[in-house]
Structure formats: C-alpha cells, structure tokens
Amino acid sequence: MAYVYPSAWFGDRLVPAAEASLSITSAAVLYGLSVYTVLPVTLGTDGQALAFRLGDHYRRLVNSARIIGIDTFEPAWSEARFAAALRDVVLANEVPEDVFVRVSVHVDERLPGTRSRGMSTLLSMFVYTAEAILPLDGARLKTSVWRRIPDYAIPSRAKVNGAYINSVLAKQDAIDSGYDDCIFLDAAGHVCELSAANIFIVRAGVLITPGTASDLLEGINRSTVLQIAGDLGIETREREVDLTELYIADEVFACGTSTYITPVMEVDARVVNGACAGPVTERIREKYRAALCGEDAGYESFVTRLDA
C-alpha cells in the first residue's frame, strides 16, 4: 500500500493529512460529488520537484467541474493559486522520491439534495508514493462483464468520484478472474479503456487508440503519448477499435498517471507479441520517462519546477 505523506492541503491551508476529513452529511460523501485529478511529481537531476503538465491538470479539474455543474470552484481558484498550493504541499512534505498528488474538489454543502450548482466547495491535495497500479513489466487484461457508463449517462471525460464505482466493479471482476485489470467496452461493443488507464494498440507500425467519442477519459497522458508518437514519426490514428483487434495486434499498451506506459502481455488468454514489450511501446516509454523527469529539452514546457 502506498505511503501517504503527513501534510495535506485542505480548504485554504496546510493541515496534518490525518485531520483532513469531510462531514458524513456533505454532498461529496452522500453522492460522490467530487471531481479530481492525479498528477505526478518527479525529482529532477538537481533534486528539484517537477510537476508534470500542471496547467493541464488544473484545466481538467475546471472542465470536470463545469461538466457536472459545480460552479463555485473556478471563480475561487485561479491556476496561479492552484500551483502555489501544490508547491506548498509538496515542499512541506520534503519528498525524497517521485510521488503522486491527488487533488480533489469536493462539494462540502451539507444535506443539499441531488443538485450541483451554487454550493460550497473545498479543495484538497495529498501526496503519496508513486506506486504503479499495474505491473510495469507487463499486464494481463480481461474484457469486463460490465460495460462503460455512456457519456449520455455519466460523462467519462469528467473525473467524477462517484462514477468510479463502474471501474471498481470492472476491475474487481478482472482480479477475481486472475487478471491485472479489465478492458471496458461501450454499449456498441467497441473498446473504451481500462479501469483507470487509456489503451493503445499497434498494427503494421500504426499506433491506434479509441477516439474521444468512445466513452473514455481524455487522458493527459494519452495526449502526451500521441504527441510523442508524432514527434517520433510514428503514424497515429484515433478511431473506433474492435475487441478482436486487440487479439491480433502487434503490440498493446496502457497509459496513465498511475500506469505510466505499461505493455500488455495478454488479452482474454491471448498472448500479445510473445508476451514481450514491442519496439513502438519501448520507444514511446523511453521518451515518456525522459519527458516526465524533465530530461528532454523538447518537452521542457511539460514540467513546472516547484522549487523555483
């Protein structure tokens, strides 16, 4: 289990993480009415803490709140204030390693009923060790018996806490069946994503991923992979993906903050690429890691130095 660092941001100040709690009467607890993001913070070669795509993570929080109708977060929290709070919580914990920071906007109004507008919100941040949620040397996936909630029911492009029961059901089914994670299909049977990661396949040298209309999270790391692939001269396509394409793909990999770039070795008991990471996966993974750690000047804009 990941170690949670002792200092957290809660409301408008730093507090001991153990004391950061919400009322059982709040909308966040009663209805899962919170939106969140998780961003990686790595240590550069000079020991400085580097936040990866900080502005994009802030905008994802804003967009998630807009989609759900939470309208009191954005006026109160500018990107500059958000960045300052993140810096304070990371430096307060004196992190000696790469970490993840989970940032949430909670609707803390008490007994509000099932609504979202005009209610008080509270921002929280906590820091924990950057432990991958999939085996980085290769994952085994199972098609979920549960379908991805469609955009017309609960939008996947908004990271809403309460919606993740869908992922819990699907991943637990995969674990119970002896796999590492699931593959979600949409109502039409097309591939969406994993329980908490985007998915890519390689066929005949072309990198393919489900399009943004496929009931998936428009992942920040997904967009990073697409940019890196373009920079490497790898042809990319965003389109509907059939499940059987995964069975015959040359390579399959997952990406996300907590999955990094994870090669997929098996899908529904069908071995992918001899159970080895493929050349496209390896090229992208190497470039991604360099970008994440601030070691590639071509992606310097992706990192924010929190000590500066």
Of 72, 95, 129, which one is at a domain's C-terminal end? Answer: 129
Q: How confident is the model at residue 123 (pLDDT cuts 50, 70, 90)?
A: very high
Report the predicted TM-score, pTM, of the whole model to 2 decimal places: 0.96
Task: State whether 157 and 122 are in the same domain.
Answer: no
Residue that finishes a domain, picked among 106, 129, 152: 129
Residues 124, 143 within the same domain = no
Residue at 266 is within a domain? yes
* pLDDT tens, residue by residue, 194-203: 999 999 999 9
Cα 15 to Cα 186: distance, rounded to the nearest angstrom: 41
pLDDT of 38:
98
Q: Give the length of the chain.
A: 308
Helix (H, G, I), strand (E, B) or coil at 20: coil
Residues 43 and 165 in one domain: no
Distance CA 10, CA 125 (A): 7
- Least confidently predicted of 42-46, 110-114, 275-279, 302-306: 42-46
Q: Which CATH number belongs to the domain containing residue 199 in this structure?
A: 3.20.10.10
Q: Are residues 110 and 232 in the same domain?
A: no
Q: 308 pLDDT exceeds 70?
A: no
CA count, 13 A, side-chain hemisphere, 115: 10
Q: What is the pLDDT of residue 106?
A: 98
Distance CA 265, CA 227 (A): 24
Answer yes or no: do 72 and 194 share one domain.
Answer: no
Domain of 257? 139-292
The model's pLDDT over 84-103, given as tens digits with 9 standing for 90+, comes to 999 999 999 999 999 999 99
**Tally of domains within the chain:** 2
| Any domain includes 48 | yes
Assign residue 54 the CATH number of its domain: 3.30.470.10
pLDDT at 15: 98
CA angle 114, 120, 121 (to 5 degrees): 95
Residues 193 and 102 in one domain: no
Could you tell me the CA-to-CA distances from 160 to 12, 102, 111, 187, 211 in Å, in that order?
22, 13, 19, 20, 20
